[in-house]
Structure 1
Amino acid sequence: MLGREAILSGVKVIQMTKVDSTQDELRRRLESTFLHKPLCVVAQSQSKGRGSRGNVWDNEQALMFSFAYNAPLILPDDVPAQSVAIFLGCIIRDILRESGSSAWLKYPNDLYVLDKKAGGILIERVKGVLLCGVGINVASERFGKIDIALDEEKFFARLFEVLQNPPSWKQIFSNYKLEFWRNYPFSFHIGDELVSLRDAFLLEDGGVNIGGRVVYNLRECGV
Protein backbone atom coordinates (compact mmCIF):
# COMPACT_ATOMS: atom_id res chain seq x y z
CA MET A 1 0.00 0.00 0.00
CA LEU A 2 1.31 3.43 -0.95
CA GLY A 3 1.67 6.16 1.63
CA ARG A 4 -0.10 9.51 1.40
CA GLU A 5 2.65 10.82 -0.88
CA ALA A 6 5.64 9.12 -2.44
CA ILE A 7 8.28 9.80 -5.07
CA LEU A 8 8.58 6.80 -7.37
CA SER A 9 11.07 6.87 -10.24
CA GLY A 10 11.03 10.68 -10.10
CA VAL A 11 7.23 11.03 -10.16
CA LYS A 12 5.21 12.43 -7.25
CA VAL A 13 2.43 9.98 -6.45
CA ILE A 14 -0.45 11.23 -4.29
CA GLN A 15 -2.78 8.69 -2.68
CA MET A 16 -6.33 9.91 -2.06
CA THR A 17 -9.15 8.12 -0.27
CA LYS A 18 -11.99 9.19 -2.58
CA VAL A 19 -12.38 11.48 -5.59
CA ASP A 20 -15.00 12.01 -8.24
CA SER A 21 -12.46 10.72 -10.75
CA THR A 22 -8.66 10.70 -10.76
CA GLN A 23 -8.75 12.21 -14.25
CA ASP A 24 -10.85 15.16 -13.11
CA GLU A 25 -8.75 15.63 -9.96
CA LEU A 26 -5.58 15.75 -12.04
CA ARG A 27 -7.23 18.15 -14.49
CA ARG A 28 -8.15 20.53 -11.66
CA ARG A 29 -4.59 20.49 -10.37
CA LEU A 30 -3.27 21.18 -13.84
CA GLU A 31 -5.70 24.07 -14.38
CA SER A 32 -4.91 25.67 -11.02
CA THR A 33 -1.15 25.59 -11.50
CA PHE A 34 1.00 24.48 -14.41
CA LEU A 35 2.68 21.18 -13.65
CA HIS A 36 6.41 21.38 -14.34
CA LYS A 37 6.95 17.82 -13.17
CA PRO A 38 4.84 14.70 -13.62
CA LEU A 39 2.20 14.05 -11.01
CA CYS A 40 0.17 10.90 -10.42
CA VAL A 41 -3.12 10.82 -8.51
CA VAL A 42 -4.23 7.46 -7.09
CA ALA A 43 -7.65 6.90 -5.51
CA GLN A 44 -9.02 4.14 -3.33
CA SER A 45 -12.49 4.86 -4.72
CA GLN A 46 -14.16 7.06 -7.34
CA SER A 47 -17.71 8.35 -7.34
CA LYS A 48 -17.71 9.27 -11.05
CA GLY A 49 -14.93 7.26 -12.65
CA ARG A 50 -14.66 8.02 -16.35
CA GLY A 51 -14.35 5.53 -19.19
CA SER A 52 -14.25 5.76 -22.95
CA ARG A 53 -16.96 7.61 -24.93
CA GLY A 54 -18.08 9.50 -21.82
CA ASN A 55 -19.16 6.36 -19.99
CA VAL A 56 -18.98 6.00 -16.22
CA TRP A 57 -16.24 3.54 -15.30
CA ASP A 58 -17.83 1.13 -12.84
CA ASN A 59 -15.46 -0.72 -10.52
CA GLU A 60 -15.69 -2.90 -7.46
CA GLN A 61 -12.07 -3.00 -6.31
CA ALA A 62 -9.45 -1.54 -8.57
CA LEU A 63 -6.17 0.29 -8.93
CA MET A 64 -7.31 3.70 -10.23
CA PHE A 65 -4.87 6.44 -11.18
CA SER A 66 -4.16 9.30 -13.56
CA PHE A 67 -0.83 10.91 -14.35
CA ALA A 68 0.44 13.92 -16.28
CA TYR A 69 2.69 12.75 -19.10
CA ASN A 70 5.42 15.39 -19.06
CA ALA A 71 9.20 15.49 -18.56
CA PRO A 72 11.07 13.47 -17.46
CA LEU A 73 8.41 11.07 -18.79
CA ILE A 74 9.08 10.96 -22.51
CA LEU A 75 6.70 10.17 -25.36
CA PRO A 76 8.81 8.99 -28.33
CA ASP A 77 8.57 11.19 -31.41
CA ASP A 78 7.35 8.33 -33.58
CA VAL A 79 4.21 7.61 -31.53
CA PRO A 80 1.14 8.59 -33.62
CA ALA A 81 -1.03 11.08 -31.73
CA GLN A 82 -4.11 8.89 -32.15
CA SER A 83 -2.32 5.80 -30.80
CA VAL A 84 -1.02 6.96 -27.41
CA ALA A 85 -3.53 4.68 -25.65
CA ILE A 86 -2.21 1.67 -27.58
CA PHE A 87 1.39 2.67 -26.80
CA LEU A 88 0.73 3.11 -23.08
CA GLY A 89 -1.55 0.08 -22.92
CA CYS A 90 1.17 -2.16 -24.34
CA ILE A 91 3.69 -0.84 -21.82
CA ILE A 92 1.29 -1.52 -18.93
CA ARG A 93 0.51 -4.94 -20.37
CA ASP A 94 4.23 -5.79 -20.49
CA ILE A 95 4.79 -4.61 -16.90
CA LEU A 96 1.91 -6.78 -15.72
CA ARG A 97 3.35 -9.72 -17.63
CA GLU A 98 6.70 -9.24 -15.92
CA SER A 99 4.86 -10.19 -12.73
CA GLY A 100 3.22 -13.23 -14.29
CA SER A 101 -0.04 -11.84 -15.68
CA SER A 102 -1.55 -13.09 -18.94
CA ALA A 103 -3.06 -9.66 -19.69
CA TRP A 104 -3.37 -8.53 -23.29
CA LEU A 105 -4.48 -5.30 -24.97
CA LYS A 106 -7.79 -5.30 -26.81
CA TYR A 107 -8.03 -2.64 -29.47
CA PRO A 108 -7.82 0.19 -28.83
CA ASN A 109 -7.55 0.82 -25.07
CA ASP A 110 -8.79 -2.09 -22.95
CA LEU A 111 -6.78 -4.49 -20.83
CA TYR A 112 -8.18 -8.02 -20.97
CA VAL A 113 -7.50 -11.26 -19.15
CA LEU A 114 -8.75 -14.16 -21.28
CA ASP A 115 -12.09 -12.92 -22.69
CA LYS A 116 -12.99 -10.37 -20.01
CA LYS A 117 -12.14 -6.72 -19.62
CA ALA A 118 -9.91 -6.15 -16.59
CA GLY A 119 -9.00 -2.51 -17.15
CA GLY A 120 -8.81 0.42 -19.50
CA ILE A 121 -6.86 3.51 -20.51
CA LEU A 122 -8.23 7.02 -21.11
CA ILE A 123 -6.10 9.69 -22.83
CA GLU A 124 -6.90 13.42 -22.80
CA ARG A 125 -4.90 16.55 -23.60
CA VAL A 126 -5.15 19.61 -21.34
CA LYS A 127 -2.98 22.71 -21.80
CA GLY A 128 -0.75 20.70 -24.09
CA VAL A 129 -0.18 18.00 -21.45
CA LEU A 130 -1.36 14.43 -21.86
CA LEU A 131 -3.47 13.18 -18.96
CA CYS A 132 -3.46 9.41 -18.79
CA GLY A 133 -6.16 7.70 -16.75
CA VAL A 134 -5.88 3.99 -15.98
CA GLY A 135 -8.12 1.56 -14.14
CA ILE A 136 -7.17 -2.05 -13.39
CA ASN A 137 -9.67 -4.31 -11.64
CA VAL A 138 -8.12 -6.14 -8.71
CA ALA A 139 -11.27 -7.96 -7.62
CA SER A 140 -14.63 -8.23 -9.33
CA GLU A 141 -17.61 -10.57 -9.46
CA ARG A 142 -19.22 -8.87 -12.46
CA PHE A 143 -16.24 -8.01 -14.66
CA GLY A 144 -12.78 -9.28 -15.46
CA LYS A 145 -9.90 -8.80 -13.06
CA ILE A 146 -6.16 -8.93 -13.17
CA ASP A 147 -4.77 -12.41 -12.58
CA ILE A 148 -1.88 -11.50 -10.26
CA ALA A 149 -1.43 -9.93 -6.85
CA LEU A 150 -0.57 -6.35 -7.75
CA ASP A 151 2.17 -4.63 -5.76
CA GLU A 152 1.22 -0.96 -6.27
CA GLU A 153 4.55 0.56 -5.29
CA LYS A 154 6.50 -1.83 -7.50
CA PHE A 155 4.06 -1.29 -10.37
CA PHE A 156 4.30 2.51 -10.30
CA ALA A 157 8.08 2.53 -9.90
CA ARG A 158 8.44 0.24 -12.89
CA LEU A 159 5.91 2.13 -15.03
CA PHE A 160 7.56 5.50 -14.51
CA GLU A 161 11.01 4.00 -14.94
CA VAL A 162 10.04 2.62 -18.35
CA LEU A 163 8.37 5.87 -19.43
CA GLN A 164 11.58 7.80 -18.82
CA ASN A 165 13.40 5.60 -21.34
CA PRO A 166 10.57 4.07 -23.36
CA PRO A 167 10.64 1.77 -26.36
CA SER A 168 9.86 3.28 -29.74
CA TRP A 169 6.46 3.05 -31.39
CA LYS A 170 8.07 0.74 -33.96
CA GLN A 171 9.05 -1.68 -31.19
CA ILE A 172 5.65 -1.48 -29.52
CA PHE A 173 3.78 -1.90 -32.80
CA SER A 174 5.83 -4.92 -33.92
CA ASN A 175 5.01 -6.67 -30.66
CA TYR A 176 1.35 -5.68 -30.65
CA LYS A 177 0.86 -6.79 -34.26
CA LEU A 178 1.98 -10.33 -33.38
CA GLU A 179 -0.98 -10.82 -31.06
CA PHE A 180 -3.56 -8.63 -32.76
CA TRP A 181 -5.36 -11.87 -33.69
CA ARG A 182 -6.71 -11.92 -30.13
CA ASN A 183 -9.06 -9.09 -31.17
CA TYR A 184 -10.87 -11.01 -33.91
CA PRO A 185 -13.70 -12.43 -31.73
CA PHE A 186 -14.46 -8.96 -30.33
CA SER A 187 -15.97 -5.63 -31.37
CA PHE A 188 -15.36 -1.99 -30.49
CA HIS A 189 -17.26 1.27 -30.75
CA ILE A 190 -16.96 3.95 -33.42
CA GLY A 191 -19.12 6.60 -31.82
CA ASP A 192 -22.37 4.75 -31.07
CA GLU A 193 -21.72 2.10 -33.72
CA LEU A 194 -20.50 -1.32 -32.58
CA VAL A 195 -18.07 -2.67 -35.17
CA SER A 196 -16.72 -6.21 -35.38
CA LEU A 197 -12.95 -6.68 -35.39
CA ARG A 198 -13.31 -10.06 -37.12
CA ASP A 199 -11.89 -8.82 -40.43
CA ALA A 200 -9.87 -5.86 -39.13
CA PHE A 201 -6.40 -5.22 -40.49
CA LEU A 202 -4.00 -3.35 -38.20
CA LEU A 203 -2.20 -0.41 -39.83
CA GLU A 204 1.32 0.71 -38.91
CA ASP A 205 0.10 3.98 -37.37
CA GLY A 206 -2.29 2.16 -35.01
CA GLY A 207 -5.40 2.53 -37.12
CA VAL A 208 -7.43 -0.38 -38.43
CA ASN A 209 -8.89 -1.07 -41.85
CA ILE A 210 -12.34 -2.62 -41.53
CA GLY A 211 -13.91 -3.47 -44.86
CA GLY A 212 -12.10 -0.61 -46.59
CA ARG A 213 -12.95 1.91 -43.88
CA VAL A 214 -9.92 3.25 -42.02
CA VAL A 215 -10.55 3.98 -38.36
CA TYR A 216 -8.20 5.55 -35.82
CA ASN A 217 -8.86 4.74 -32.18
CA LEU A 218 -12.35 6.11 -31.47
CA ARG A 219 -12.73 8.34 -34.51
CA GLU A 220 -13.26 7.63 -38.19
CA CYS A 221 -10.73 9.31 -40.50
CA GLY A 222 -11.61 8.14 -43.99
CA VAL A 223 -13.13 5.55 -46.29
Structure 2
Amino acid sequence: MDIHWFESLESTQSFLIEELKASHLQVPVCVGASSQTMGKGSRGNSWIGNQGNLFISVGIARSTLPKDLKLESSSIYLAFLMKELLASLGSNIWLKWPNDFYLGETKIGGVITNLVGENLVCGIGLNLVSAPEGFSTVDISVTPYNLTKAYSALFKNLPSWKQIFSKYRIEFEHSRVFFTHHNYEKIALKDALLLEDGSLECDGQRMYSLR
Protein backbone atom coordinates (compact mmCIF):
# COMPACT_ATOMS: atom_id res chain seq x y z
CA MET A 1 0.00 0.00 0.00
CA ASP A 2 1.41 3.39 -1.00
CA ILE A 3 1.61 6.01 1.76
CA HIS A 4 1.37 9.71 0.87
CA TRP A 5 2.41 11.91 3.78
CA PHE A 6 1.80 15.67 4.12
CA GLU A 7 2.88 18.27 6.63
CA SER A 8 -0.69 19.54 6.96
CA LEU A 9 -4.10 18.87 5.40
CA GLU A 10 -7.55 20.20 6.14
CA SER A 11 -8.81 16.60 6.23
CA THR A 12 -7.11 13.39 5.12
CA GLN A 13 -10.57 11.93 4.54
CA SER A 14 -11.80 14.73 2.26
CA PHE A 15 -8.47 14.87 0.43
CA LEU A 16 -8.38 11.14 -0.31
CA ILE A 17 -12.02 11.03 -1.40
CA GLU A 18 -11.46 13.87 -3.88
CA GLU A 19 -8.22 12.35 -5.17
CA LEU A 20 -9.92 8.98 -5.75
CA LYS A 21 -12.86 10.59 -7.52
CA ALA A 22 -10.46 12.49 -9.78
CA SER A 23 -8.43 9.29 -10.38
CA HIS A 24 -5.29 11.02 -9.11
CA LEU A 25 -4.75 8.20 -6.62
CA GLN A 26 -5.56 4.50 -6.85
CA VAL A 27 -6.41 1.99 -4.14
CA PRO A 28 -4.91 0.54 -2.05
CA VAL A 29 -3.56 3.81 -0.72
CA CYS A 30 -3.04 5.69 2.53
CA VAL A 31 -2.92 9.46 3.06
CA GLY A 32 -1.51 10.87 6.30
CA ALA A 33 -0.72 14.29 7.69
CA SER A 34 1.39 15.60 10.54
CA SER A 35 -1.43 18.01 11.43
CA GLN A 36 -5.06 18.41 10.42
CA THR A 37 -7.14 21.58 10.50
CA MET A 38 -10.67 20.56 9.48
CA GLY A 39 -10.92 16.85 10.21
CA LYS A 40 -14.18 14.92 10.09
CA GLY A 41 -15.57 13.43 13.28
CA SER A 42 -18.70 11.50 14.14
CA ARG A 43 -22.20 12.99 13.73
CA GLY A 44 -20.83 15.94 11.76
CA ASN A 45 -18.38 17.01 14.45
CA SER A 46 -14.86 18.15 13.62
CA TRP A 47 -11.68 16.30 14.57
CA ILE A 48 -8.97 18.94 14.56
CA GLY A 49 -5.60 17.93 15.89
CA ASN A 50 -2.10 18.99 16.71
CA GLN A 51 1.17 17.72 15.31
CA GLY A 52 2.23 14.39 16.75
CA ASN A 53 -1.24 12.85 16.72
CA LEU A 54 -2.45 10.37 14.10
CA PHE A 55 -4.46 11.59 11.10
CA ILE A 56 -4.75 9.07 8.29
CA SER A 57 -7.22 7.83 5.70
CA VAL A 58 -6.94 4.49 3.94
CA GLY A 59 -8.58 3.68 0.62
CA ILE A 60 -9.27 0.04 -0.20
CA ALA A 61 -11.34 -1.80 -2.79
CA ARG A 62 -14.36 -3.55 -1.31
CA SER A 63 -13.47 -6.61 -3.39
CA THR A 64 -10.22 -7.06 -1.43
CA LEU A 65 -11.97 -7.17 1.95
CA PRO A 66 -13.05 -10.46 3.55
CA LYS A 67 -16.01 -12.06 1.80
CA ASP A 68 -17.93 -12.37 5.07
CA LEU A 69 -17.60 -8.65 5.88
CA LYS A 70 -20.79 -6.68 5.28
CA LEU A 71 -20.57 -3.00 4.40
CA GLU A 72 -22.36 -1.97 7.60
CA SER A 73 -19.74 -3.84 9.64
CA SER A 74 -16.75 -2.12 8.02
CA SER A 75 -16.24 0.62 10.63
CA ILE A 76 -16.05 -1.92 13.46
CA TYR A 77 -13.76 -4.14 11.40
CA LEU A 78 -11.30 -1.44 10.36
CA ALA A 79 -11.29 0.17 13.80
CA PHE A 80 -10.67 -3.16 15.51
CA LEU A 81 -7.67 -3.81 13.27
CA MET A 82 -6.11 -0.61 14.64
CA LYS A 83 -7.13 -1.50 18.18
CA GLU A 84 -5.47 -4.91 17.88
CA LEU A 85 -2.32 -3.32 16.48
CA LEU A 86 -2.09 -0.89 19.39
CA ALA A 87 -2.79 -3.68 21.87
CA SER A 88 0.09 -5.68 20.36
CA LEU A 89 2.32 -2.68 21.18
CA GLY A 90 1.25 -2.73 24.82
CA SER A 91 -1.76 -0.40 24.88
CA ASN A 92 -4.89 -0.99 26.98
CA ILE A 93 -7.04 0.68 24.33
CA TRP A 94 -10.52 -0.73 23.66
CA LEU A 95 -13.19 -0.13 21.02
CA LYS A 96 -16.52 1.36 22.06
CA TRP A 97 -19.39 0.47 19.73
CA PRO A 98 -19.15 1.09 16.91
CA ASN A 99 -15.92 2.95 16.15
CA ASP A 100 -14.54 5.04 19.03
CA PHE A 101 -11.21 4.32 20.71
CA TYR A 102 -11.21 4.55 24.50
CA LEU A 103 -8.84 4.21 27.43
CA GLY A 104 -10.89 3.44 30.49
CA GLU A 105 -13.86 5.78 30.20
CA THR A 106 -12.15 8.47 28.12
CA LYS A 107 -12.21 8.78 24.33
CA ILE A 108 -8.86 9.00 22.57
CA GLY A 109 -9.86 8.69 18.91
CA GLY A 110 -12.24 7.29 16.36
CA VAL A 111 -12.90 5.99 12.86
CA ILE A 112 -15.15 7.21 10.07
CA THR A 113 -15.80 5.33 6.81
CA ASN A 114 -17.23 6.42 3.48
CA LEU A 115 -18.11 4.49 0.35
CA VAL A 116 -16.60 5.99 -2.80
CA GLY A 117 -17.76 3.97 -5.78
CA GLU A 118 -16.53 0.45 -5.14
CA ASN A 119 -13.92 1.64 -2.65
CA LEU A 120 -14.03 2.22 1.09
CA VAL A 121 -12.25 5.21 2.60
CA CYS A 122 -11.49 4.79 6.29
CA GLY A 123 -10.34 7.83 8.26
CA ILE A 124 -8.65 7.35 11.63
CA GLY A 125 -7.90 10.04 14.19
CA LEU A 126 -6.01 9.13 17.33
CA ASN A 127 -4.55 11.26 20.12
CA LEU A 128 -0.97 10.05 20.45
CA VAL A 129 0.67 12.98 22.26
CA SER A 130 -1.97 15.65 22.98
CA ALA A 131 -5.72 15.88 23.49
CA PRO A 132 -8.36 18.58 23.97
CA GLU A 133 -10.17 18.94 27.27
CA GLY A 134 -12.34 15.94 28.04
CA PHE A 135 -10.26 13.57 25.91
CA SER A 136 -7.05 11.65 26.55
CA THR A 137 -4.02 10.22 24.75
CA VAL A 138 -2.88 6.70 24.04
CA ASP A 139 -0.87 4.97 26.77
CA ILE A 140 2.14 3.97 24.66
CA SER A 141 4.84 5.81 22.77
CA VAL A 142 4.57 5.47 18.98
CA THR A 143 5.13 7.88 16.10
CA PRO A 144 2.30 8.63 13.64
CA TYR A 145 4.30 7.48 10.61
CA ASN A 146 5.48 4.21 12.17
CA LEU A 147 1.94 3.42 13.30
CA THR A 148 0.67 4.21 9.80
CA LYS A 149 3.21 1.87 8.20
CA ALA A 150 2.29 -0.93 10.60
CA TYR A 151 -1.45 -0.43 10.00
CA SER A 152 -1.02 -0.31 6.22
CA ALA A 153 0.92 -3.59 6.34
CA LEU A 154 -2.08 -5.36 7.89
CA PHE A 155 -3.97 -5.16 4.59
CA LYS A 156 -1.62 -7.73 3.02
CA ASN A 157 -3.30 -10.52 4.98
CA LEU A 158 -6.65 -9.53 6.44
CA PRO A 159 -8.47 -11.69 8.99
CA SER A 160 -12.08 -12.67 8.36
CA TRP A 161 -14.99 -10.77 9.89
CA LYS A 162 -15.74 -13.90 11.91
CA GLN A 163 -12.27 -13.79 13.47
CA ILE A 164 -12.58 -10.11 14.33
CA PHE A 165 -16.14 -10.41 15.62
CA SER A 166 -15.30 -13.30 17.94
CA LYS A 167 -12.93 -10.94 19.76
CA TYR A 168 -15.12 -7.86 19.54
CA ARG A 169 -18.11 -9.72 21.00
CA ILE A 170 -16.16 -10.02 24.28
CA GLU A 171 -14.89 -6.44 24.17
CA PHE A 172 -18.38 -5.07 23.55
CA GLU A 173 -19.22 -5.65 27.20
CA HIS A 174 -17.16 -2.53 28.04
CA SER A 175 -19.63 -0.47 25.99
CA ARG A 176 -22.61 -1.30 28.18
CA VAL A 177 -21.99 1.58 30.60
CA PHE A 178 -22.20 4.06 27.69
CA PHE A 179 -24.80 5.54 25.37
CA THR A 180 -24.96 5.76 21.59
CA HIS A 181 -26.91 8.06 19.28
CA HIS A 182 -29.53 6.82 16.83
CA ASN A 183 -31.89 9.04 14.85
CA TYR A 184 -30.82 11.97 17.07
CA GLU A 185 -31.79 10.01 20.20
CA LYS A 186 -29.45 9.07 23.04
CA ILE A 187 -29.80 5.33 23.67
CA ALA A 188 -28.30 3.37 26.58
CA LEU A 189 -26.30 0.30 25.61
CA LYS A 190 -26.88 -1.47 28.95
CA ASP A 191 -29.33 -4.03 27.56
CA ALA A 192 -28.35 -3.93 23.87
CA LEU A 193 -27.98 -7.20 21.98
CA LEU A 194 -24.93 -7.35 19.70
CA LEU A 195 -25.86 -9.22 16.51
CA GLU A 196 -23.59 -11.27 14.23
CA ASP A 197 -23.16 -8.47 11.68
CA GLY A 198 -22.08 -5.96 14.35
CA SER A 199 -25.43 -4.20 14.53
CA LEU A 200 -27.33 -3.72 17.79
CA GLU A 201 -30.85 -4.58 18.79
CA CYS A 202 -32.02 -2.18 21.47
CA ASP A 203 -35.54 -1.27 22.62
CA GLY A 204 -37.00 -2.97 19.56
CA GLN A 205 -34.74 -1.06 17.17
CA ARG A 206 -31.93 -2.42 15.03
CA MET A 207 -29.01 -0.01 14.84
CA TYR A 208 -26.09 -0.07 12.45
CA SER A 209 -22.88 1.89 12.37
CA LEU A 210 -23.53 4.65 9.82
CA ARG A 211 -20.14 6.30 9.83
* TM-score between the two structures when normalised by the length of structure 2: 0.92
Q: Which position in structure 2 is the counterpart of 1:183?
A: 175
Write out aligned runs for 1:103-114 (5 A).
103-114=93-104
Q: Which position in structure 1 is the counterpart of 2:154?
A: 162
Give structure 1 stretches of 5+ with no counterpart: 1-10
Deviation at 1:141, TM superposition (A): 4.9
Q: State the alpha-carbon separation in 2 of the partners of residues 87 and 121 from structure 1.
A: 10
Question: Moved runs in structure 1, 4+ residues, more than 6 A?
Answer: none
Question: What is the RMSD computed on CA atoms of the aligned residues?
Answer: 1.9
Alignment match of 2:163 (pick from 171, 176, 198) = 171
Q: Which position in structure 1 is the counterpart of 2:33?
A: 43
Q: State the alpha-carbon separation in 2 of the partners of residues 112 and 203 from structure 1.
A: 22
Q: Which has the higher strand share?
A: 1
* TM-score between the two structures when normalised by the length of structure 1: 0.87
Q: Which position in structure 2 is the counterpart of 1:146?
A: 138
Q: Which position in structure 2 is the counterpart of 1:70?
A: 61
Deviation at 1:60, TM superposition (A): 4.0
After superposition, give the CA deviation of every residue in 1:34-79 in whole Å (9 maximum; x if it has no partner).
64442211112222110122211133452101111139x9310101
Write out aligned runs for 1:20-31 (5 A).
20-31=10-21
> Is structure 2 residue 48 aligned with structure 1 residue 58?
yes
CA gap of 1:101–1:211, structure 2 versus 1, over 3 A, is: same
CA gap of 1:151–1:58, structure 2 versus 1, over 3 A, is: closer
Q: State the alpha-carbon separation in 2 of the partners of residues 141 and 45 from structure 1.
A: 14
Q: Is the 8 A contact 1:23 1:66 kept in 2?
A: yes
Q: Is the 8 A contact 2:59 2:122 kept in 1?
A: yes
Q: Is the 8 A contact 2:110 2:125 kept in 1?
A: yes
Give structure 2 stretches of 5+ with no counterpart: none
Q: State the alpha-carbon separation in 2 of the partners of residues 163 and 157 from structure 1.
A: 11
Identity %: 37
Q: Which position in structure 2 is the counterpart of 1:210?
A: 202
